[in-house]
Amino acid sequence: MDFVLGIDGGGTSCRAALATADGRILSRAKSGAANIRTDLTGARASIVEAARLAFEEAGHNSALLPNTPALLGLAGANVGTYRRQLEAILPFSRSVVETDSAIALEGAIGEADGAMAILGTGTAFMVRHDGVTRQVGGWGFLIGDQGGGARIGRDLLEETLLAHDGIRKTSPLTEALLAVFRGEAQDVVEFTTTAKPGDFGGFAPMVFDYAARGDIVAETILTRAVGAVEASLDALQLRDGDPLCLLGGLAPLIEPRLSERYRRIVREPKQDALGGAVSKAARVFAKEAANG
């Protein structure tokens, strides 16, 4: 039996799906972070591990990895030469690396017109009109990803230090965050020295939790994040009738906070980004096989 692999990698985790050549998914597996711009070597290790686990989950020998083509949608693939560097060192028979946005759009709306937003550790937005796609955002944690979990977590650390220094008022949220670091402000700073986007994003659930309790600092952070998401959605210039699909771990938390004009056009995605990677893998590799 011939197989294809679909892989979805981001700042928090990497997911792999093993499928038949026609796109029927046999198994799924998960491993560590796979943002190729943040950590190319670590991302490769996560990708290979997720693929290996997918083979094992399906009851097949992972020694078949070198005989299997893979289509990967990865955070960080939209900048620099990371995409080409990774393709050169992956163990698959054929490796096609695309952005995580491309497979997310494929999964959400197939080949139709419409838009999607990835709202996870980072953020990225993509729209398709008349067969032409355009991406907004997805530039990474340091200078982009506004509204994502990493930026929300980073903002919480900043607000906590401002409160500690008496520049802003404290709140139950800032007190709880400082307690995580044993009340030591310098430990908050030390954490940021080696923290990756996923580490910052680990604090995002605290913000949503405390916002539900009416915490003013949490509300301030989330108001800023939702404003950033809506600004990116505005830039997509959606047309009447365009569906909008929200993907990623923060999607169900952000959606209720969007303005009504966006909430009313939100639709359930046809499948997730990993399913999109598999569908695209089956189509791409079948076409390549047909063309010899």
Quick one: pLDDT at residue 292?
Answer: 66
Least confidently predicted of 41-45, 91-95, 107-111, 170-174 = 107-111
The dihedral of CA 33, 34, 39, 42: what is its sign? Answer: positive
pLDDT band at 12 (very low <50, low <70, confident <90, very high): confident
For residue 105, what pLDDT is reported? 93
Count of other CB atoms within 10 angstroms of residue 74: 27
Q: Delineate the domains of the chain, giving CATH numbers in brackets.
A: 3-109+271-290 (3.30.420.40), 113-267 (3.30.420.40)
What's the whole-number mean pLDDT along residues 276-280? 94
Percent of the chain at pLDDT exceeding 70:
99
What's the rounded Cα separation, in Å, for the pair 75 and 41?
Answer: 14
What pLDDT is stored for residue 193 in this prediction?
95
Give the pLDDT band of residue 140 (cuts 50, 70, 90): confident
* Percent of the chain topping pLDDT 90: 80
Q: What value does the mean pLDDT take over residues 193-215? A: 95
Q: Is pLDDT at 139 greater than 90 in this prediction?
A: no
In this predicted structure, the answer to whether residue 291 has a pLDDT above a threshold of 80 is no
Residue 1: per-residue pLDDT: 56
Query: In which element (H, E) is residue 258 found?
Result: none
Say whether pLDDT at 224 is over 70.
Answer: yes
Q: What is the mean pLDDT of residues 195-205?
A: 93
Helix, strand, coil shares of the chain as percentages rounded to 5?
Answer: 50, 20, 35
Least confident span in 63-77, 149-163, 191-205, 277-291: 277-291
Span 122-135, pLDDT tens digits: 899 999 999 899 99
- CB neighbours of 7 closer than 8 A, spacing ≥ 6? 14, 15, 16, 17, 34, 47, 50, 51, 70, 71, 72, 73, 74, 274, 277
**118 pairs with which residues across the strands?**
124, 247
